């Protein structure tokens, strides 16, 4: 079984910000989860490097567009690495293989009779790199995403006859009810289609920084068309000498923020239908990270720098915080203060402390060796609840509900903390008659924590591996498979006492 997942390719007109980090983390969590299920996974991310805004950004810096993108792309590669992304490939739209593929793709649209040359006029937002219908603008006539007035642009361009696909798109939507998630975004895309689709320009004659239209070198392909095709082109050259298209297309899931829904849920499927490709199986549309209730944007000057946060607290707490705090599909307010509270409460107090206590009690009362659970003293409830937690969190990851998966896992973390309070191993240790009970409790804590590590691995992979390491458990890729998440699958017995997994963060630190 294969699972292919993508982030949008990020536009390199500015520095990476938290929005990019959030999308990449969300996609990475799902990629890791599907690898844990033993699936053949391909996780793609990369950079979008053509178009007017790039040329303008380069000019402002006194660079050629190529120099500019060659400086910016590594920042986005670095972001993927910094957040712990396990992407299988990083595509750049200036890769010659991609550019050649894009030309071949638009030739297919032309061969299908879906391209026409026309004079095109429309309201164009340079920040979106996109045209707006007047009816979709803010009441003051500005772009609702950027708050700036679009300009009237008129030129002779090649058109993609999107209007021809209106019925087929509607039918596709009706036959695939859940293909865009959440439901509100599915409805939004469908109603956009059913309002009536206009044909769209897919080339520019006034722009030079882009992929030339293969039959007319005076024009370059519109940056959005160029960008969308990356999801397919990457499969043809990600592994030298191998074409992965049959293995990983259609994509299982495109992950993105809601501002690019229309491109992905309306234009992209129509382009694929025209060129003769299958439609992706799903699209997951997440909300915005807000700061004090406002969208983060360069224009508003409230952009948080993910690199600074990672320097301060590490990538794993950032991954945990964003996935725990902001439900995929909804907007969510984020702040350093919020991160600190989550960190101290969930990671330091509840999980980190549970691990430290368990390991140090095994060290103190059983000389560092996890005891076997004596027959008749097995903690049936704790065992059953642990396996139920794995099933519940898996079902939630399967539904792309990462926040809910974490809630299930933390319910069980709190259950294990209660076990410590209720059984009071420090009292059991004083009574030789209770030795069997103490063995059962210590064994139960280790076995329960192992299940927690496997369940939480997609969100905080390094933490999960560290928990297994401290419990003396095997932690290679094969040991992380979900099929191994059964009670009592302890692979060895010697624990290692170590400093706290999550030292508490002080306010203002």
143, 254, 443, 475: which one is catalytic? Answer: 143
128 near Zn ion, judged by CB under 5 A:
yes
Whether 128 is a known active-site residue: answer: yes
Closer Cβ to Zn ion, 128 or 449, answer by number: 128
Tell me the C-alpha distance between 119 and 158, whole Å: 8
Write the CB contacts of 279 (distance below 8 Å, at least 6 apart in sequence).
172, 176, 179, 250, 269, 272, 273
- Shortest distance (Å) from residue 129 CB to Zn ion: 8
CA distances from 101 to 95, 224, 243, 269, 367 (A): 10, 15, 13, 17, 62
86-125 mask for Zn ion (x: CB under 5 A)? ---------------------------------------x
Q: Which helix (H) or strand (E) holds 335?
A: none
- Shortest distance (Å) from residue 206 CB to Zn ion: 18
Whether 17 is a known active-site residue: answer: yes
* Omega prior to 250 cis, within 30 of 0: yes
Burial status of residue 199 (CB atoms within 10 A of its CB: 0-12, 13-18, 19 or more): middle
Whether 295 is a known active-site residue: answer: yes
Burial status of residue 290 (CB atoms within 10 A of its CB: 0-12, 13-18, 19 or more): middle
Closer Cβ to Zn ion, 122 or 317, answer by number: 122
Whether 364 is a known active-site residue: answer: no
For residues 331 and 290, the answer to whether their CB atoms sit within 8 Å is yes
- Shortest distance (Å) from residue 267 CB to Zn ion: 16
139-158 mask for Zn ion (x: CB under 5 A)? ----x-xx------------
- HSE on the CB side for 464, CA within 13 Å? 26
Backbone torsions φ then ψ of 40, nearest 5 degrees: -85, 105
Tell me the C-alpha distance between 39 and 334, whole Å: 33
Whether 427 is a known active-site residue: answer: no
- Shortest distance (Å) from residue 142 CB to Zn ion: 8
185-224 mask for Zn ion (x: CB under 5 A)? ----------------------------------------
298, 364, 427, 430: which one is catalytic? Answer: 298
Closer Cβ to Zn ion, 62 or 301, answer by number: 301
Closer Cβ to Zn ion, 127 or 336, answer by number: 127
Q: Which stretch binds Zn ion (CB under 5 A): 138-146, 217-225, 262-270, 334-342?
A: 138-146
Tell me the C-alpha distance between 353 and 365, whole Å: 18
Q: What is the C-alpha R_g of the chain?
A: 26
Closer Cβ to Zn ion, 125 or 420, answer by number: 125
23-52 mask for Zn ion (x: CB under 5 A)? ------------------------------
Closer Cβ to Zn ion, 138 or 478, answer by number: 138
Whether 176 is a known active-site residue: answer: no
Tell me the C-alpha distance between 7 and 284, whole Å: 10
Whether 34 is a known active-site residue: answer: no
Tell me the C-alpha distance between 484 and 266, whole Å: 41
Whether 286 is a known active-site residue: answer: no
18, 50, 128, 443: which one is catalytic? Answer: 128
Tell me the C-alpha distance between 438 and 108, whole Å: 70
Closer Cβ to Zn ion, 27 or 123, answer by number: 123
**DSSP state for residue 226 in the 8-state scheme:** H
- Shortest distance (Å) from residue 145 CB to Zn ion: 4
Give the binding site for Zn ion (CB under 5 A): 125, 127-128, 143, 145-146
Which active-site residues does the annotation give? 17, 20, 125, 128, 143, 146, 295, 298
């Amino acid at each position: 079984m294969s699972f292919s997942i993508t982030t949008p390719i990020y536009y390199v007109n500015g520095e990476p910000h938290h929005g990019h980090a959030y999308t990449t983390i969300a996609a990475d969590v799902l990629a890791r989860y599907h690898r844990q299920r033993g699936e053949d996974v391909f996780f793609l991310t990369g950079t979008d490097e053509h178009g007017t805004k790039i040329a303008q950004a380069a000019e402002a810096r006194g660079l050629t567009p190529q120099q500019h993108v060659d400086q910016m792309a590594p920042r986005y590669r670095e972001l993927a690495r910094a957040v712990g992304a396990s992407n299988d490939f990083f595509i750049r739209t200036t890769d010659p293989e991609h550019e050649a593929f894009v030309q071949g793709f638009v030739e297919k649209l032309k061969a299908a009779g879906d391209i026409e040359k026309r004079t095109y006029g429309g309201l164009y937002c340079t920040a979106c790199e996109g045209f707006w219908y007047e009816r979709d603008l803010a009441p003051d006539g500005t772009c609702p995403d950027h708050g700036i007035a679009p300009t009237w642009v008129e030129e002779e361009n090649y058109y993609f006859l999107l209007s021809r696909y209106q019925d087929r798109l509607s039918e596709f939507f009706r036959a695939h009810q859940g293909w865009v998630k959440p439901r509100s975004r599915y409805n939004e895309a469908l109603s956009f289609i059913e309002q009536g689709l206009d044909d769209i320009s897919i080339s520019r004659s006034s722009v030079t920084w882009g992929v030339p239209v293969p039959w007319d070198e005076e024009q370059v392909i519109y940056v959005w068309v160029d960008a969308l095709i990356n999801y397919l082109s990457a499969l043809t050259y990600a592994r030298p000498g191998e074409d992965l298209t049959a293995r990983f297309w259609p994509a299982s899931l495109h992950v993105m923020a809601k501002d690019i829904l229309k491109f992905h849920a309306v234009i992209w499927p129509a382009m694929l239908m025209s060129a003769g490709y299958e439609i992706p199986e799903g699209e997951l549309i997440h909300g915005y990270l807000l700061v004090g209730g406002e969208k983060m944007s360069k224009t508003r000057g409230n952009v948080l720098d993910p690199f600074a946060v990672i320097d301060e607290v590490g990538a794993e707490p950032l991954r945990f915080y964003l996935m725990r705090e902001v439900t995929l599909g909804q907007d969510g307010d984020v702040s350093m203060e919020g991160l600190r509270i989550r960190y101290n409460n969930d990671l330091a107090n509840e999980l980190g402390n549970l691990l430290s206590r368990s390991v140090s009690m095994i060290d103190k009362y059983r000389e560092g060796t996890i005891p076997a659970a004596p027959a008749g003293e097995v903690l049936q409830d704790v065992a059953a609840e642990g396996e139920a937690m794995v099933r519940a969190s898996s079902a939630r990851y399967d539904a792309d509900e990462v926040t809910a998966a974490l809630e299930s896992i933390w319910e069980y973390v709190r259950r294990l903390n209660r076990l410590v309070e209720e059984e009071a191993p420090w009292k059991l240790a004083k009574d030789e008659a209770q030795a069997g009970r103490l063995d059962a409790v210590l064994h139960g804590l280790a076995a329960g924590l192992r299940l927690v590590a496997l369940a939480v691995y997609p969100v905080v992979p390094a933490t999960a591996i560290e928990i297994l390491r401290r419990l003396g458990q095997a932690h290679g890729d094969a040991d992380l498979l979900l099929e191994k998440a059964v009670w009592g699958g302890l692979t060895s017995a010697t624990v290692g006492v170590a400093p706290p997994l999550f030292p508490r963060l002080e306010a203002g630190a």
